[in-house]
């Protein structure tokens, strides 16, 4: 969390953490679903027979996930529980999933939920900003050439940047049962991808926020391969696109100011409202600087140097450090 006591200034990194958490933890397509199986490295599924040609005839590296939604009615407490990487596995844990690391579980959680997510995340950010006064400012913090860079701009000056990606490098498929819904990313020769661009005052877009970047797998992790989204200078993001697809048209990308409608708009508006409520309480209810989660049964761990950033555990603090270290200011006793 970043504080400089300018209450009317939003912080892009911190807002992105909260928006990502509120969106993913209540994603309707995967709500309360538990992971059943992961198929990687050319392997086929063992618990289902996937007949989808995009899967069976896939010429590029592929990853597949099978999820089970509960068939029984959930109790009130169960129904209110947030979906998280830490509770994505069923109980007892099947033998085929017992060797998944916390980083593996993050990928199993985020990659499916980011399927077709670029316009959803753009709309979510728009709904959030619409809850604030027109001339609200937003602080943009990035690391460029290993040095921190920061500027403040009007939140409403952000732009939607749309580009085509040609020949994706990987494909992933998620099957959700008993809904019998299949979601596929990377099966088209050309796909449209949208991100948010932030210009400094009087300038052109030079910072990109991609909240759905992990649909492309671990190559979509920001902050030195540790983060759950991408927030970086445009030049770095253009280079990153080479990890998503063999070609792109970023140099001819279309820029616009607002998106009109996206599927699930009501759910996104509710996620935006929850995010604003958490932002308004930021001084008393902190969140994890890696995943955006609030404190649960145990209080969050606090950065011993600045006392401002908080984390779920040591692993999340370590994952956030590549970004946080550039803005961590020691509190003098």
Confidence of residue 298 (pLDDT cuts 50, 70, 90): confident
CB 60 within 8 A of CB 186: yes
pLDDT for residue 311 is more than 80 = yes
What's residue 6's pLDDT? 54
CB 314 within 8 A of CB 298: no
What's residue 287's pLDDT? 97
Please compute the mean of the pLDDT values over residues 189-196 and round it to a whole number: 96
Confidence of residue 5 (pLDDT cuts 50, 70, 90): very low
What's residue 262's pLDDT? 72
Confidence of residue 281 (pLDDT cuts 50, 70, 90): very high
Mind listing the pLDDT tens digit for each residue in 104-158? 999 999 999 999 999 999 999 999 999 999 999 999 999 999 999 999 999 999 9
CB 173 within 8 A of CB 55: yes
What's residue 228's pLDDT? 98
Structure pTM?
Answer: 0.95
What's residue 261's pLDDT? 76
Please compute the mean of the pLDDT values over residues 240-254 and round it to a whole number: 96
- Pull the structure tokens for residue 92: 């007892």
Instruction: Report the alpha-carbon distance of residue 158 to residue 255 in Å, rounded.
Output: 10
Please compute the mean of the pLDDT values over residues 1-20 and round it to a whole number: 81
Confidence of residue 333 (pLDDT cuts 50, 70, 90): low
* Interacting residues of 191 by C-beta distance below 8 A, sequence separation 6+: 164, 165, 168, 245
What's residue 116's pLDDT? 92
Instruction: Report the alpha-carbon distance of residue 13 to residue 173 in Å, rounded.
Output: 29
pLDDT for residue 260 is more than 90 = no
Q: What percent of the chain has pLDDT over 90?
A: 89
What's residue 332's pLDDT? 60
What's residue 331's pLDDT? 66
Q: What percent of the chain has pLDDT over 70?
A: 96
Which string of b and e fits 196-210 if b means at least 16 CB within 10 Å? bbbbeeeeebbbbbb
Confidence of residue 258 (pLDDT cuts 50, 70, 90): very high
pLDDT for residue 1 is more than 60 = no
On average, the pLDDT of the chain sits at 94
Please compute the mean of the pLDDT values over residues 216-229 and round it to a whole number: 97
Please compute the mean of the pLDDT values over residues 280-298 and round it to a whole number: 93
Radius of gyration, alpha carbons of the chain? 20
Torsion sign (Cα): 216, 124, 104, 47:
negative
């Amino acid at each position: 969390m970043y504080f400089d006591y300018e209450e009317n200034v939003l912080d892009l990194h911190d807002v992105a953490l909260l928006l990502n958490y509120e969106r993913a933890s209540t994603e309707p397509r995967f709500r309360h679903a538990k992971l059943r199986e992961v198929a990687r490295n050319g392997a086929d599924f063992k618990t289902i027979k996937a007949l989808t040609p995009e899967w069976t005839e896939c010429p590029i590296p592929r990853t597949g996930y099978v999820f089970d939604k509960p068939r029984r009615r959930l109790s009130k407490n169960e129904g209110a529980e947030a979906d998280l990487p830490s509770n994505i596995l069923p109980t007892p844990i099947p033998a085929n999933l017992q060797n998944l690391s916390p980083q593996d579980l993050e990928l199993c959680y985020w990659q499916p939920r980011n399927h077709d997510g670029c316009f959803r995340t753009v709309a979510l950010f728009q709904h959030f900003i619409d809850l604030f006064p027109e001339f609200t400012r937003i602080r943009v913090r990035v690391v460029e050439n290993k040095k921190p860079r920061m500027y403040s701009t009007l939140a409403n000056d952000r732009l939607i940047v749309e580009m085509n990606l040609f020949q994706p490098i990987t494909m992933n498929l998620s099957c959700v049962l008993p809904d019998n819904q299949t979601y596929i990313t990377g099966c088209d020769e050309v796909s449209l991808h949208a991100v948010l661009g932030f210009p400094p005052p009087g300038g052109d877009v030079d910072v990109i926020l991609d909240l759905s970047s992990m649909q492309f797998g671990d190559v979509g992790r920001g902050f030195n391969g540790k983060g759950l989204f991408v927030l970086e200078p445009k030049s770095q993001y253009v280079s990153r696109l080479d990890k998503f697809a063999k070609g792109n048209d970023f140099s001819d990308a279309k820029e616009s100011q607002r998106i009109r409608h996206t599927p699930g708009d009501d759910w996104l508006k509710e996620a935006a409202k929850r995010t604003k409520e958490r932002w308004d309480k930021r001084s008393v209810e902190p969140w994890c600087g890696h995943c955006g989660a609030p404190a649960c049964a145990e209080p969050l761990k606090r950065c011993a140097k600045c006392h401002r950033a908080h984390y779920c555990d040591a692993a999340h603090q370590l994952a956030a450090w590549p970004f946080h270290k550039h803005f961590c200011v020691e509190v003098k006793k």
